[in-house]
């Protein structure tokens, strides 16, 4: 039993962490949280199922197209819902515009794909059992993304430009960095990470349009608790969230598990609004 | 006709209530249309109309949270669900003894109020997106609980909704019941919107710092709003359950929440009429063409995106013809300093505001380094010094934004509590800001009235119900604010939206707002910045008159001419330390000041 809690918990936790990183990558580039993070996760599952199970594409091709779709949605998010409202960040219009875009995608999926949860194909043709691929795939995806991001940020020029933009937008622009293109690239990257989360976790979450708001919420928990823009914090908090949720699921049952997660989330946030890591106080007057 | 009568008449024209009827007209039309609706529509349209009324009961309350207070609460459907289940379960009597439907609905309202508070409270601590997400989480969880708690909610099978007894049992009977409640909610929220609470809510939304400085406490203001909003949402849920006649968790999707939320934004923030129209529009729209039903949420979302990007003001802004009339291009601000005696003619225990050895450093930078300062009632005190010498920091310590690490700030001998920003207004300390903090969507008069918020006596409930005390508050407050506007010379712009004003006019608006508090001490942060030479001269006369009426004035400025013209006492700072203090004449000839700051 403990084994099942741990493996499910870590796998789910990895998906939450990946959605959290999706939020973070968009946030670092634009200082904006986007409601489309969970939608991307949902699309990863739905499109994966569509391309592989329904259209019979090979897994690799399916994954590639899913990634491209995620990148495209990321770019669309930047152009349609983020760029026009960046000028007036203090009015928080981005909350509304990204919410609108997320709903548009979600509803379109509900109508075209259906409102029933459909199965996600097994990606590797190996026998079920023990430590199954539905558990290790999300973990693998999570590790791959973290390593990939680290390499990108440390060793590539574009990665350093990302960091520069997120550290100090004005200074980066003054140095001549193409801020707008970098932001679009960041959103494309975030789109890919989000869909990877849904794709790798497809077997657990199924191809279901209703995953969007759930992932949007549970994926934000690691961001809020781990600190905005802090990917390591997001991974730790995501794993804790997944384990806690599964343990609560086992101990007190399904409904109260969600209630427990929510209660803990609210309490932690009320005590530490800046998350468990880091605190900043900005000048207001 | 003597001058006073003339002035009063003139003021009546400018601030008069001629527009009240015009503002009420659309509501009267809606009321008549609603009452006579059964004569025209029938059958299915009756259901749609009832549904619109049920939704509006919820949206009216949510409008205060989203439209006025600016809190992005997207999961309000949770309260609808809660109200629907509470009413239905109590009325059906499958767990408790059977309750009469009205009692069940009342209990649901109480439960809804409590949960409205629980969902809403995080807004006091969390930032916008965080709060939006927590309400979203709440909505998801309530539906899950409804699905899983089978012994009470019937799980996926559901429970029958309550049936309200005669005369509200028939279709039209129930319609009139819902319409009546919707009308009452409209009336109550419109009352509140026009009260000091309504103005305080928009101030918190658009100019939180100025709201605090005017004595508005965010928690004290938002708690009753969440209670009210939760209660009406739960009542709406009870009605919704009755209209559906049978409820399952499927009925409460996030789509509904989106509908409520978008109805407000389409209608326009800070408006009552706009969201009414928005609710009607969104309820009716999908019914006009059957194929649209499946696409309704999709369309709402598209509409939301378009509204946010193209017309953030919503329907209300489109209907606001008054503010599209061009303003006179050459308009001068002519203050009437002679009126200040009348305005500030209230007993204030004005003695002195003193700083004793106040020190504050940020990291290694000593912003203020052991400073003594005394601002006396009835005098203008100038605070000058180069950039970064700690002038604004001193203002922020006095008004509670920073906590000094050493020393004390005293008002008439008693130490000011640290960080209690909204308490400053209760001690009659008012201030203005370097960048004017104004509610752009409110009229100039309304902005100025915000300054007098703490002088209102009527409670939140009295405002909702338009009881006499609330009406008296409004009359006095309007009169004080109007007088302050005349005094600073902006009376002709009283009804204009504040975001249409020029920079200098915004500065004088802030002064008028501060004067409406009838302050014992007035702190001004660079009031002359951006003003023309003529305006600076008038500002100087105004400030002198304010001091003449007994108020202690502290001016942080960069214009030496203004400072030397009007100040009784000048303090010069450099790097957080006192460089010199004395009369303007002494300062002007002070060698170090001339070297460090004035230039010689």
pLDDT in tens, B169-218: 888 999 999 999 999 999 999 999 999 999 999 999 989 899 999 999 99
Note whether B400 and B289 are same-domain residues.
Answer: no
Residues of A whose CB is below 8 A from B126: 269-270, 273
Contact indicator for A237, A277 with CB cutoff of 8 Å = no
Note whether B430 and B534 are same-domain residues.
Answer: yes
Note whether B83 and B162 are same-domain residues.
Answer: yes
Note whether B307 and B445 are same-domain residues.
Answer: no
Q: How far apart are the first and last CA of chain A?
A: 55
**pLDDT in the model for residue A80:** 94
Note whether B72 and B167 are same-domain residues.
Answer: yes
Note whether B378 and B499 are same-domain residues.
Answer: yes
**Which residues, in sequence order, are CB contacts of A91 under 8 Å at separation 6+?**
A85, B312
The minimal CB distance from B298 to the residues A108, A266, A273 is found for: A108
Check CB contact under 8 Å for B145 and A255.
yes
Instruction: Please give the tally of structural domains in chain B.
Output: 2
Place of tokens 């199922």: A49
**pLDDT in the model for residue A99:** 92
- pLDDT bin (cut points 50, 70, 90) of residue A88 is confident
The minimal CB distance from B302 to the residues A104, A259, A284 is found for: A104
Query: Would you call the peptide bond into B167 cis, given omega within 30 degrees of 0 as the criterion?
Result: yes
**pLDDT in the model for residue A254:** 67
Give a yes or no: residue B17 inside a domain.
Answer: no
Note whether B312 and B443 are same-domain residues.
Answer: no
Token duo for residue A218: 């549970």
Which secondary structure element, helix H or strand E, spans residue A169, and what is its range?
helix A169-174
Query: Would you say residue B229 has pLDDT above 50?
Result: yes
Cα–Cα distance measured from residue A12 to residue B550, given in angstroms and rounded to the nearest whole number? 67
Token duo for residue B193: 């919107």
Share the mean pLDDT of chain B. Answer: 88
B57: containing domain:
31-321
The mean per-residue pLDDT over the stretch A77-89 comes to 89
Note whether B316 and B414 are same-domain residues.
Answer: no
Give a yes or no: residue B160 inside a domain.
Answer: yes
Return the residue of A nearest to B395 by Cα: A285
Check CB contact under 8 Å for A107 and B127.
no
The rounded percent of chain A whose pLDDT value lies above 90 is 55
Contact indicator for B522, B350 with CB cutoff of 8 Å = no
**pLDDT in the model for residue B534:** 92
The minimal CB distance from A224 to the residues B130, B297, B301 is found for: B130
Count of other CB atoms within 10 angstroms of residue A84 = 16
**Which residues, in sequence order, are CB contacts of B105 under 8 Å at separation 6+?**
B87, B162, B235, B238, B239
> How many CB pairs (< 8 A) connect A and B?
108
Return the residue of B nearest to A85 by Cα: B309
In order of A211, A278, B95, B515, the CA distances from A116 in angstroms are 11, 41, 32, 62
Place of tokens 């509908």: B259
Q: What is the pTM of this model?
A: 0.90
Note whether B127 and B238 are same-domain residues.
Answer: yes
pLDDT, tens digit (0-9, with 9 covering 90-100), for B67-101: 999 898 988 999 999 999 999 999 998 888 889 99
Beta bridge partners of B523: B431, B554
Token duo for residue B544: 């002198």
State the ipTM, two decimals: 0.89
**pLDDT in the model for residue B20:** 65
Classify A2-117+133-271 by CATH class: mainly alpha
Check CB contact under 8 Å for A100 and B138.
no
The minimal CB distance from A97 to the residues B128, B309, B433 is found for: B309
Cα–Cα distance measured from residue B354 to residue B336, given in angstroms and rounded to the nearest whole number? 30
- pLDDT bin (cut points 50, 70, 90) of residue B1 is very low
CATH number, position B379: 3.40.50.300
Give a yes or no: residue B5 inside a domain.
Answer: no
**Which residues, in sequence order, are CB contacts of B401 under 8 Å at separation 6+?**
A284, A285, B421
Note whether B88 and B142 are same-domain residues.
Answer: yes
**pLDDT in the model for residue B16:** 46
Most B CBs within 10 Å, among A39, A76, A107, A116, to test the B interface: A107
Beta bridge partners of B555: B382, B524
**Which residues, in sequence order, are CB contacts of A247 under 8 Å at separation 6+?**
A5, A9
Count of other CB atoms within 10 angstroms of residue A231 = 22
Using N-to-C axis directions, what is the helix angle for A211-226 and A93-113, rounded to 10°? 150
Contact indicator for B490, B333 with CB cutoff of 8 Å = yes
CATH number, position B254: 1.10.3470
Check CB contact under 8 Å for A111 and B140.
no
Cα–Cα distance measured from residue A275 to residue A230, given in angstroms and rounded to the nearest whole number? 10
Contact indicator for B87, B241 with CB cutoff of 8 Å = yes
Higher-pLDDT residue of B330 and A22 is A22
CA distance to partner chain B, nearest, from residue A253 (Å): 10
Cα–Cα distance measured from residue A140 to residue A122, given in angstroms and rounded to the nearest whole number? 15
**Which residues, in sequence order, are CB contacts of B116 under 8 Å at separation 6+?**
B61, B79, B226, B227, B228, B229, B230, B231, B233, B234
Beta bridge partners of B36: none
Give a yes or no: residue B326 inside a domain.
Answer: no
Which A residues 118-177 touch B at CB under 8 Å?
none
Query: Across chain B, which distance is largest between two alpha carbons, in Å?
Result: 90
Note whether B270 and B390 are same-domain residues.
Answer: no
**pLDDT in the model for residue B258:** 84
Give a yes or no: residue B264 inside a domain.
Answer: yes
CA distance to partner chain A, nearest, from residue B66 (Å): 12
Check CB contact under 8 Å for B401 and A255.
no
Most A CBs within 10 Å, among B137, B204, B207, B360, to test the A interface: B137
Q: A95 CB near a chain B CB, below 8 Å?
A: yes
Cα–Cα distance measured from residue B495 to residue B497, given in angstroms and rounded to the nearest whole number? 7
Residues of B whose CB is below 8 A from A23: none
Query: Would you say residue B7 has pLDDT above 60?
Result: no
The minimal CB distance from B136 to the residues A216, A259, A270 is found for: A216
Return the residue of B nearest to A84 by Cα: B309
Q: Measure CA A153 to chain center.
A: 18
């Amino acid at each position: 039993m403990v084994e099942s809690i741990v493996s499910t918990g870590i796998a789910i936790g990895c998906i939450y962490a990946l959605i959290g990183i999706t939020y973070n990558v968009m946030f670092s580039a634009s200082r904006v949280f986007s409601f489309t993070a969970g939608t991307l996760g949902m699309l990863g599952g739905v499109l994966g199922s569509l391309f592989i199970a329904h259209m019979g594409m090979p897994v690799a091709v399916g994954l590639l197209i899913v990634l491209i779709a995620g990148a495209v949605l990321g770019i669309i998010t930047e152009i349609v819902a983020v760029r026009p409202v960046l000028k007036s960040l203090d009015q928080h219009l981005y909350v509304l515009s990204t919410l609108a875009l997320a709903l548009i995608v979600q509803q379109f999926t509900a109508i075209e794909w259906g409102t029933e949860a459909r199965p996600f194909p097994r990606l590797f043709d190996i026998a079920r059992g023990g430590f199954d691929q539905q558990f290790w795939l999300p973990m693998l995806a999570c590790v791959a993304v973290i390593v990939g991001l680290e390499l990108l940020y440390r060793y590539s020029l574009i990665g350093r430009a990302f960091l520069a933009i997120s550290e100090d937008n004005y200074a980066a622009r003054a140095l001549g960095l193409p801020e707008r293109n970098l932001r679009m690239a960041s959103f494309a990257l975030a789109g890919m990470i989000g869909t990877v989360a849904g794709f790798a976790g497809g077997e657990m979450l199924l191809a279901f349009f209703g995953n969007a708001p759930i992932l949007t919420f549970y994926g934000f928990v690691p961001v809020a608790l781990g600190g905005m823009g802090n990917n390591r914090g997001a991974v730790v908090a995501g794993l804790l969230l997944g384990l806690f949720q599964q343990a609560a699921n086992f101990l007190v049952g399904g409904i109260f598990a969600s209630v427990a997660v929510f209660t803990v989330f609210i309490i932690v946030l009320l005590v530490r609004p800046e998350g468990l890591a880091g605190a900043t106080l900005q000048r207001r007057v | 006709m003597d001058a006073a009568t003339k002035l009063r008449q003139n003021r009546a024209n400018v601030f008069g209530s001629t527009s009240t009827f015009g503002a009420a007209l659309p509501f009267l039309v809606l009321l008549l249309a609603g009452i006579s609706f059964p004569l025209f529509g029938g059958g299915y349209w009756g259901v749609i109309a009832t549904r619109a009324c049920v939704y509006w009961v919820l949206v009216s309350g949510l409008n205060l949270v989203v439209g006025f207070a600016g809190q992005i609460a997207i999961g309000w459907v949770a309260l609808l669900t809660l109200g629907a289940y509470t009413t239905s379960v109590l009325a059906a009597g499958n767990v408790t003894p059977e309750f009469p439907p009205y009692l069940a609905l009342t209990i649901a309202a109480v439960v809804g109020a409590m949960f409205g508070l629980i969902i809403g409270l995080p807004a006091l601590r969390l930032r916008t997106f965080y709060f939006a997400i927590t309400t979203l989480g709440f909505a998801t969880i309530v539906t899950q609980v409804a699905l899983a708690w089978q012994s009470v909610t019937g799980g996926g099978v559901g429970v029958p909704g309550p049936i309200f007894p005669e005369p509200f049992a028939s279709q039209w009977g129930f319609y009139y019941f819902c319409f009546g409640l919707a009308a009452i909610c409209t009336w109550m929220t419109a009352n509140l919107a026009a009260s000091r609470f309504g103005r305080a809510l928009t101030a918190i939304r658009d100019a939180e710092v100025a709201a605090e400085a005017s004595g508005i406490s965010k928690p004290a203001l938002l708690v009753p709003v969440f209670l009210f909003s939760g209660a009406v949402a739960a009542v709406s849920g009870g009605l919704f359950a009755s209209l559906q006649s049978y409820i399952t968790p499927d009925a409460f999707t996030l789509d509904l929440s989106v509908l409520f939320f978008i109805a407000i934004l389409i209608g326009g923030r800070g408006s009552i009429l706009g969201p009414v129209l928005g609710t009607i529009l969104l309820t009716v729209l999908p019914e006009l063409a059957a194929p649209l039903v499946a696409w309704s949420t999709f369309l709402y979302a598209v509409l939301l995106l378009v509204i946010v990007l193209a017309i953030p003001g919503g329907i209300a802004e489109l209907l606001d013809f008054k503010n599209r009339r061009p303003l006179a291009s050459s308009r001068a601000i002519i203050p009437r300093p002679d009126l200040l005696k009348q305005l500030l003619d209230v007993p204030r225990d004005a003695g002195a505001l003193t700083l004793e050895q106040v020190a504050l450093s940020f990291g290694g930078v000593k912003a203020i380094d052991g400073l003594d300062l005394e601002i006396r009632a009835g005098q203008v005190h100038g605070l000058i010094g180069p950039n970064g010498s700690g002038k604004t920091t001193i203002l922020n310590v006095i008004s509670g934004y920073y906590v000094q690490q050493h020393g004390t700030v005293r008002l008439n001998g008693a130490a000011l509590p640290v960080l209690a920003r909204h308490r400053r207004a209760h001690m009659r300390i008012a201030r203005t800001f370097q960048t004017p903090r104004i509610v752009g969507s409110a009229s100039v008069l309304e902005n100025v009235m915000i300054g007098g918020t703490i002088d209102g006596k009527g409670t939140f409930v009295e405002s909702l119900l338009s009881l006499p005390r609330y009406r008296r508050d409004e009359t006095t407050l309007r009169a004080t604010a109007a007088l302050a506007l005349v005094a600073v010379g902006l009376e002709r712009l009283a009804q204009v939206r504040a975001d249409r004003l020029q920079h200098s006019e915004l500065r004088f608006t802030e002064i008028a707002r501060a004067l409406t508090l009838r302050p014992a001490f007035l702190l001004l942060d660079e009031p002359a910045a951006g003003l023309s030479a003529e305006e600076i001269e008038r500002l100087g006369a105004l400030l002198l008159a304010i001091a003449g009426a007994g108020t202690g004035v502290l001016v942080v400025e960069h214009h030496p001419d203004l400072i030397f013209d009007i100040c009784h006492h000048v303090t010069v700072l450099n790097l957080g330390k006192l460089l010199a203090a004395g009369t303007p004449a002494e300062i002007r000839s002070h060698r170090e000041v001339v070297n460090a700051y004035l230039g010689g």
